């Protein structure tokens, strides 16, 4: 239940930053619909949209707040609560602050949100080098006001047709438990994935525990020099559990110890035979993760008319993997931040039967008004990959954009891109925005026993 401090309207309350020793007496939730009276949207459009949209439920908002009634005030947890609400992707604006009814009155935590339009029809068509790819469907990011994402998309590309269903609920059981489901019905197979549990929901969270699983029966295509090399059947069933505890954690930094176990049956068989081998693996892994909190709050980076939290937190995660031998996992990032810009370097590597190493550097500047300038470079190398684990920039959508399907595949990859995201109009009749994004990029993928296969384009 949400308590109200006084009969005075909220706009008569005085904003105040509470001293750390003060405790929160109550929590106030103010959630407005998509359009309000001050918007420039035509009245009939605003009225229709507000009627069709199911406003986000208050318990969803309260569930993302990291400060409860009776808790001592903490400005860092208040800022993290605001980020947690924005991460749901259902609000066009979010503000979390404190208010008092009188200068010496009781302290209230206030969350003020405004919903965004959450039903997104999807339709795309691409034709490059004679290869046609298209998709049609919808994504609902706030199903029945519960911040649950539901999507259904049908598409076709030169390899196969597919029907994808996704379900993501960050508040499935209680305030912190998450459930993710994904099912893909392919013209040449099936694939399903699930994940359930309690993640590290905040920087100072004491523990996490999650389970996951995947089942697949599908065809794997392998290409070389833009030509189909072979085709195999892939069979997989795996289940696992992973968790961690915080050896030390504050609202600003953490040290976590993690461990996991996985059972997996995985085989590859010829497509022209019904005989399939049966191979079972059991894998244990454990390690440590350290990090500190650093975010940049931007506008006009990946969306319009919304503030975005860009995670540039320095982190390092290392671990050992035990299966048929001893392997390793390593990932981390570091960053530099300046006024209206940042640079972030990310590295990820793992190795056991095969090894994979990737690194990327992204530099973003908004020092020029209405322009977001982005420079990005990345590269990777993989050894002894299993079928389908080679680099394919078209599959990952991380490579030169104007080349055909599977033009670049291999065990080495690079990609360099310069892009200028230009804001033309941030708000048109309160309904849409307009922007341009000229770019130039260069990169590709190739095998270790051949010269680099790379290309560039602009658009």
- The last residue of one of the domains, among 115, 131, 148, is 115
* Residue 382 resides in a domain: yes
- Predicted local confidence at residue 167, as pLDDT: 98
pLDDT mean over 210-230 = 91
Q: Mean pLDDT across the stretch 245-262?
A: 97
Q: What is the pLDDT of residue 419?
A: 96
* Band of residue 164 on the pLDDT scale cut at 50, 70, 90: very high
Domain of residue 316, residue span: 299-459
pLDDT, residue 2, reads 38
Non-local (6+) Cβ contacts of 146 within 8 A are: 56, 57, 60, 169, 171
40 token code pair: 């420039």
Q: For tokens 């050896």, what's the residue?
A: 247
CATH number for the domain spanning 66: value is 3.10.20.310
At which of 53, 82, 115 does a domain end?
A: 115
Percent of the chain surpassing pLDDT 90: 70
End-to-end Cα spacing for the chain: 53
**Does residue 154 form part of some domain?**
no
Burial of 252 (C-beta count, 10 Å sphere; 0-12/13-18/19+): exposed
360-408 confidence digits (pLDDT tens): 999 999 999 999 999 999 999 999 998 889 999 988 888 888 888 889 9
Kindly state whether residue 389 falls inside one of the protein's structural domains.
yes
Is the pLDDT at 8 greater than 60, yes or no? no
Distance, in Å, from the CA atom of 238 to the CA atom of 266, rounded to the nearest integer, reads: 8
In which band, very low, low, confident or very high, does the pLDDT at 1 lie, cut at 50, 70 and 90? very low
| DSSP-derived secondary structure for 289-312 | EEEE--EEEEESSSSSSSEEEEE-
Q: 113-131, pLDDT tens digit by residue?
A: 999 989 999 999 988 877 8
Domain boundary among 73, 96, 115: 115
Give the whole-angstrom CA distance, residue 453 versus residue 410. 9
- 141 domain residue, yes or no: no
CB within 8 Å of 264: residues ≥ 6 apart: 236, 237, 238, 240, 280, 281, 282, 283
The yes-or-no verdict on residue 439 having pLDDT over 80 is: yes
- Is residue 88 within 8 Å of residue 74, measured between CB atoms? no
User: Within 10 A of 68 (CB to CB), how many other CB atoms are there?
Assistant: 11
Q: What is the mean pLDDT of the chain?
A: 89
- Is 288 within the bounds of a domain? no
What's the pTM? 0.88
**SS3 of 382-415:** EECCCCCCCECHHHHCCCCCCCCCCCCCECEEEE
Q: Name the least confident of 248-257, 304-313, 369-378.
A: 304-313
Asked if residue 283 belongs to a domain, the reply is no
**What's the domain count of the chain?**
2
- pLDDT score at 272: 61
């Amino acid at each position: 239940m949400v308590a109200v401090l006084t009969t005075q309207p909220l706009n008569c309350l005085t904003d105040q930053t509470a001293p750390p020793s003060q405790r929160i007496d109550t929590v106030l939730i103010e959630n407005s619909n998509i359009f309000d009276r001050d918007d420039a949207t035509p009245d009939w459009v605003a009225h229709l949209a507000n009627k069709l949209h199911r406003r986000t439920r208050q318990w969803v908002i309260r569930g993302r707040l990291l400060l409860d009634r009776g808790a001592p005030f903490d400005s860092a947890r208040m800022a993290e609560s605001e980020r947690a609400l924005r991460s749901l992707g259902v609000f066009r604006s979010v503000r979390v602050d404190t208010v008092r009814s009188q200068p010496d009155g009781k302290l209230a935590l206030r969350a003020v949100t405004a919903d965004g339009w959450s039903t997104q029809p999807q339709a795309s068509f691409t034709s490059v080098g004679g290869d046609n790819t298209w998709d049609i469907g919808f994504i609902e990011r706030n199903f029945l006001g519960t911040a649950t994402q539901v999507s259904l998309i049908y598409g076709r590309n030169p390899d196969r047709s597919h029907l994808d269903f996704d379900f993501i609920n960050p508040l499935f059981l209680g305030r912190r438990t998450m459930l993710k489901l994904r099912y893909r019905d392919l013209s040449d197979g099936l694939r399903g994935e699930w994940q359930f549990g309690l993640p590290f929901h905040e920087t100072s969270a004491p523990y996490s525990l999650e389970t996951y699983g995947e089942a697949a029966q599908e065809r794997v295509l392998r290409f070389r020099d833009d030509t189909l090399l072979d085709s195999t059947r892939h069979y997989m069933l795996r289940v696992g559990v992973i968790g961690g505890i915080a050896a030390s954690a504050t609202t600003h930094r953490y040290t976590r110890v993690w461990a996991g176990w996985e059972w997996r049956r995985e085989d590859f068989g010829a497509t022209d035979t019904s005989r399939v081998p049966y191979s079972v693996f059991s894998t244990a892994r454990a390690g440590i993760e350290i990090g500190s909190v650093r975010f940049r709050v931007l506008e006009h980076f990946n969306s319009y008319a919304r503030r975005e939290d860009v995670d540039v937190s320095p982190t390092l995660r290392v671990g050992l993997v035990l299966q048929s031998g001893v392997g390793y996992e390593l990932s981390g990032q570091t960053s530099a931040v300046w006024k209206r810009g940042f640079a972030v370097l990310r590295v990820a590597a793992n190795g056991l039967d095969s090894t994979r190493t990737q690194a990327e550097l992204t530099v973003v500047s908004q020092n020029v008004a209405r322009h977001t300038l982005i420079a990005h470079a990345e590269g990777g190398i993989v050894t002894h990959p299993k079928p389908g684990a080679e680099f394919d920039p078209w599959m990952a959508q991380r490579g030169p954009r104007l080349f055909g399907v599977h033009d670049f595949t291999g065990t080495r990859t690079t990609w360099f891109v310069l892009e200028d995201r230009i804001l033309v109009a941030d708000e048109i009749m309160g309904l849409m925005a307009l922007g341009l994004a000229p770019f130039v990029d260069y990169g590709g993928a190739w095998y270790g026993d051949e010269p680099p296969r790379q290309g560039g384009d602009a658009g």
